[in-house]
Amino acid sequence: MTTATKPKGLSTSAMIASFADPGQRTKSAPFGHALAALAEQDERIVGLTADLGKYTDMHIFAQAHPERFFQMGMSEQLLFGAAAGMAELGLVPFASTYSVFAARRAYDFIALDIAEPNLNVNVVGGLPGLTTGYGPSHQATEDMAIFRGLPNLTIVDPCDALDIAQSVPQLAAHDGPTYLRLLRGKVPAVLDEYDYTFELGKAKVLRGGADVVLVSSGLMTMRALQAADALAAHKVDVAVVHSPTIKPFDAETVLAELDTPRLAFTLENHTVVGGLFSATADAAAQRGLGKRIVPIALPDEFLDAGALPTLHERYGLSKDRIVAKVLAELG
């Protein structure tokens, strides 16, 4: 029997929720700082959390605006019910908890108290997808699938610190409820190296490429860009399209990039069921685009607990696994 050698750099604690690579540029708590800055300009902004201020970067807002911060305790249904009441009175609430608790535990309250009356409540979900090693109780691998079917709800899956910071004022200004898949703590800074600005409801082509097109959202856009650089060494020219808004989906931009002879992939930090791949395939089918699209996503199963680098490698989200998948499909 042979013992597999653990790849270098894949050892870390399951408690660490950062996916930044060693030495990568990061910005601390971009959501908290953006919300605090927005509140300086808009007195309607309020922040709420269900005992997770520090772990959703809401503590930054609380320190800057203590009179507009509400700690609701470990009661997510109360959190969103209270946020709905505040929105009815003309305030603009940002209510934070972990994505699993919003999508699973408080869904009925978000649906009937917030989405049905189309209130401007901004649901902020920490630990989306595989951004924690705590196992199925905390890994929100199916949150977009749950929320995509909810009328009136806008869903945003940001890539990095720039995406988050630029999305906050647009979410606040949006007429209706939103759900933000929050990346917290030391968040990688990636998109400032490209000619990119976040626009709610819009996908953006970050780089062109003649051989392969990668349509991605969330942290997987960072991985897509890394994979594109690595694939260049194999003489594979890769385009990357970032789709931070999952609903409403920017079918025009994405399908324009897919309607070519290039091999097409979707990449997402979410189960293969009901997220970016499903939104892309739905749009392609409705347009009559007879195009094979290869998903790179989490499997339709409950995932293991463990260290994030190990889990990303195991479930195919690492740069090396993406490169290997693309090369295998190219034959």
Query: Can you tell me the distance from the alpha carbon of 196 to that of 177, in angstroms, rounded to the nearest whole number?
Result: 25
Q: What is the DSSP string of 80-97?
A: HHHHHHHHHTT-EEEEEE
Residues 6+ apart with CB under 8 A from 258: 213, 215, 264, 280, 284, 289, 291, 293
**CA angle at 217 for the pair 190 and 215, rounded to the nearest 5°:** 105
Q: Are 137 and 200 in contact (CB under 8 A)?
A: no
pLDDT for 14: 52
pLDDT attached to residue 4: 35
**Pairing state between β 204-207 and 238-242:** antiparallel
**Amino acid identity, residue 242?**
H
Q: Which two tokens stand for residue 216?
A: 């991605």
C-beta of residue 305 within 8 angstroms of C-beta of residue 14:
yes
What's the rounded Cα separation, in Å, for the pair 138 and 152?
Answer: 26
Q: Can you give the residue ranges of every domain in the chain?
A: 26-188, 201-330
Class level of CATH domain 201-330: alpha beta
pLDDT for position 19 = 81
Let me know: does 271 contact 287? Beta carbons within 8 Å: no
> Do the beta carbons of residue 135 and residue 142 sit within 8 Å?
no
**Closest C-alpha among 36, 84, 77 to residue 59:** 36
SS (H, E, C) 265-303: EEEEEEECCCCHHHHHHHHHHHHCCCCCEEEEEECCCCC
124/102 Cα distance (integer angstroms): 9
Whether 219 and 91 have beta carbons less than 8 Å apart is answered as: no
Q: Do domains 26-188 and 201-330 have the same CATH topology?
A: yes
Task: Measure CA 269 to chain center.
Answer: 7
Q: Which CATH class is domain 26-188?
A: alpha beta
| CA 128/CA 39 separation, integer angstroms | 25
- Tell me the whole-structure pTM to 2 decimals: 0.95
How long is the chain? 331
Count other Cβ atoms within 10 Å, centred on residue 89: 7
Output the tens digit of pLDDT for each of the chain's 331 residues: 233 344 455 555 555 567 888 889 999 999 999 999 999 999 999 999 999 999 999 999 999 999 999 999 999 999 999 999 999 999 999 999 999 999 999 999 999 999 999 999 999 999 999 999 999 999 999 999 999 999 999 999 999 999 999 999 999 999 999 999 999 999 999 999 999 999 999 999 999 999 999 999 999 999 999 999 999 999 999 999 999 999 999 999 999 999 999 999 999 999 999 999 999 999 999 999 999 999 999 999 999 999 999 999 999 999 999 999 999 999 9
